Structure 1
Amino acid sequence: MKIKQYRTQFIKELSPLYDAYEAESFFYLILEDKHKLRQIDLALNHELFFSESDFAVWDLLLAQLKKEVPIQYLLGKTSFYGLDFEVNENVLIPRPETEELVEWIINENAATDRIKKLRILDIGTGSGCIAISLAKNLPNAEVYAIDVSKKAIETAKRNANKNKVDVTFMFQDILETKELKCQFDIIVSNPPYVRNLEKEEIRKNVLDYEPHLALFVDDNDALVFYRKIASLAQNNLLDNGKLYFEINQYLGKEMIDLLGKMDFINIDLRKDIYDNDRMISCKVSKA
């Protein structure tokens, strides 16, 4: 069968679950990954075809997509902030909103990075996407990263090697941490923040396949990670150091109140590309 014909069938079979644009994007991601062919290649040569062995691979992937297994897990990789990352069932798939957080940190600290070695800590690193992207784009920085999952750290280490950056990874439960080992210019975290009451808003491909340890918090204490990390930051941020968080879109006001009560200053809440409250930064008051 010609690839162009299979493309039509592929999109049609996924149409009950995904819109045509998303299904088509899956097709071209697989086409490039498995055959090193791009959309333009197919447009220029309508006679390209799949062999019988090709069909076996594609039909297996199609069956998994029908079960709503994330395409990133099927391919074992994704792109984040212009870099390639391995992803698997032990780590969250990096989101575009998190790229915005990384962009914010880089924009605010690139000038300082050129004249001073910044020390950065990423808490709950997962795939390492934040820590590695910062290390790549703030090349003078000394970057550390913590996660409670040993398998996540193993994945993050492979991603650091793949992207040729030095990051010090540590296995650590931040909720059980009484103090951090050193002082930092920047502490950043994208911790679990989805409440159980919000599960009905989560798509099946996330709810059934991405690690709940990295996603969900108790409804009755949704800010537990933020409160703990902010408490540690009070003692471990250097003068003029900053704390950055990705947050639950419904809890922006609560985050401002929490940080204000803990005597943080210069609190800045920002929206993401979808106009949701998503990122916040602040400084610790040394007065």
Structure 2
Amino acid sequence: MLLKEIKDIFHKELGKIYPKEEIDSFFYSCIEHYLDLERFILVIQPGITLTKEEEQPLFEALSELKQERPLQYILGTAHFMGLELQVNENVLIPRPETEELVQWILDDCQVERSRDLKLLDIGTGSGCIAIALAKHLSNAQIYALDVSEGALNVARKNAASNGVDITFLHDDILDTKLELDFDIIVSNPPYVRELEKKEIKKNVKDFEPDTALFVPDEDPLLFYRAIIDFAENHLSEKGKLYFEINQYLGEEAKALFHTRNFSEIELRKDMFGNDRMLKANVPSRGL
């Protein structure tokens, strides 16, 4: 079959679910992944024909896309800050907003490059935050924690394939006995309230892990409180906390840090204009 005919089939089968530009992106990502063909192939070779064997993975991917399974899970890979990462249903798909959080940390760490740093990523999932930090902070000792052994298996593979050394910890921050101190703690914890499920797209709600997404309506800052409790005893002097947050709870999260006497609390918007990131310095422990 002609490759351009398969592209037409993608649009016909997926047109009621996705916008045209997204379908184009799906198609070109699939041919690049499965056939190692560049996006411009149809421009220079409009008559390119595939064998039945070459067609098969494209039609299998199409079938899964019709079920609204995320393309990253279909291909088994996602990209984050120039890194290629393995992903599956044990981990969240890395988002561009999280890249902004990592970049904030890297910008702040410019002045810290003269000394060694010890960092902890809580709820590491695919390892995207920890691995990106390890790639850019050669002087840092990085730890990454997750309650899910399935997620940690993915993160370990990603660290190895990207050539970074990270200490992974299987632990629950809600009940941790970890006795290590850190200069920086970062987390993208579960923060979507159950009441917000109706706003979540099917490809997220039905496929990405609930435990990494949702928190009870009555206690949406559950994980932030637990991490603050840990940070009060395990952040070094002048240590910093960085969080990704629920866009609807920016002020509530900020107020929580004020009540716990953290300083230099800063709330930042993401590229879409939503409250998405928060930084705070460790409270003074006095004499």
TM-score using structure 2 length:
0.97
Asked if structure 1 preserves the Cα contact closer than 8 Å seen for 2:31 and 2:58, the reply is: no
Match of 2:105 in 1: 105
Could you list the per-position Cα deviations for residues 73-98 of structure 1 after superposition, in whole angstroms to 9, with x for gaps in the alignment? 00000100100100001001011110
Residue correspondence of structure 1 range 52-91 to structure 2 within 5 A: 52-91=52-91
Indicate the larger mover: 87-96 or 53-62. 53-62
Following superposition of structure 1 onto structure 2, how do residues 267-282 of structure 1 map, counting pairs within 5 Å? 267-282=265-280
Shift of 1:53: 1.8
Instruction: Confirm or deny: 8 A CA contact 1:123 1:190 kept in the other structure.
Output: yes
Compute the RMSD of aligned alpha carbons. Answer: 0.9
Aligned to 1:137: 136
Question: Using the alignment, how far apart are the partners of 2:68 and 2:252 within structure 1?
Answer: 34
The one-letter amino acid of 1:265's match is S
Q: Is the 8 A contact 2:83 2:162 kept in 1?
A: yes
Asked if 2 retains the 8 angstrom alpha-carbon contact of 1:42 and 1:48, the reply is: yes
1:206 to partner: Cα distance = 0.5
Measured in 1, the distance between the counterparts of 2:228 and 2:23 equals: 41
Answer whether contact 1:110 1:138 (CA < 8 A) is retained. Answer: no
**Alpha-carbon contact 2:173-2:227 (below 8 Å) kept:** yes
Alpha carbons 2:3, 2:48 under 8 Å: kept: yes
Partner secondary structure for residue 79 of structure 1: strand
Contact 2:180 2:234 in 1 (8 A): yes
CA distance in 2, matches of 1:6, 1:90: 31
Distance in 2, Cα, partners of 1:78 & 1:56: 22
2:111 and 2:12 mapped to 1: Cα distance?
A: 50
In the other structure, the counterpart of 2:160 is 161
- Point out where structure 2 has 5 or more consecutive residues left out of the alignment: none
Could you say which residue in structure 1 is the equivalent of 2:198?
200
Q: Taking every aligned residue pair, what percent have the same amino acid on both sides?
A: 51
What amino acid sits opposite 1:68 in the alignment? E
> Distance between the aligned counterparts of 1:108 and 1:13, measured in 2?
47
Q: Secondary structure at the match of 2:17?
A: coil
CA apart distance, 1:42: 2.4
Counterpart secondary structure, 2:218: helix
The residue correspondences of 1:256-267 to structure 2 (distance < 5 A) are 256-267=254-265
1:62 maps to a residue whose letter is L
Q: Greater shift after overlay, 42-51 or 227-236?
A: 42-51
Q: Counterpart in 1 of 2:6? A: 6
Number of paired residues? 285
2:18 alignment partner, SS class: coil
CA contact (8 A) 1:268 1:282 kept: yes
Gaps of 5+ in 1: none
Letter paired with 1:130: I
Contact 2:70–2:203 (Cα < 8 Å) also in 1: yes
Secondary structure in structure 1 of the residue aligned to 2:145: strand
Q: Aligned partners of 1:143, 1:82: CA distance in 2, in Å?
A: 19
TM-score by structure 1 length?
0.97
Structure 1, 26-35 or 41-50: larger mean CA deviation: 41-50
Separation in 2 of the partners of 1:103 and 1:12?
39
Q: Mean alpha-carbon deviation: is it higher for 227-236 or for 39-48?
A: 39-48
Pairing 1:178-193 to 2, within 5 Å after superposition: 178=177, 180-193=178-191
Q: CA deviation at 1:280?
A: 0.1
